[in-house]
Amino acid sequence: MSPQTIEMHFAEIMNLAEALRGQAGSLKALGEQEVMEAVRGGRACWISECADILGRKEVKISTELCAEADRLLKLAEEMERRARKMYQSEMMNIRLASMRIYG
């Protein structure tokens, strides 16, 4: 692979990791804010045992969304870590290949 191709692939992976990080932030905001606002709104106008059950389920969904967002953040970090390692390895291989003497 040429250095330009390696650079291009590295930049693409880093962009994907950043996009994943952004999606994780949006998902976490959804879980922390929007779902919880819906829970509070529902409790304000509907008081019953069923409303309590629904509220608990909504809180559980909110918690799961936040946990999934955290997993996505970790995945983005892992993508970046591996991309950096692969980039460094590939660039080192190119340097070594250019200095190699066959004979």
Judged on CB neighbours under 10 Å (0-12, 13-18, 19+), 13 is middle
Q: Which of 12, 61, 18 lies closest to 36 in space, CA to CA?
A: 61
pLDDT tens digits for 66-79?
A: 999 999 999 999 99
pLDDT tens digits for 21-51?
A: 999 999 999 888 887 787 777 777 778 888 8
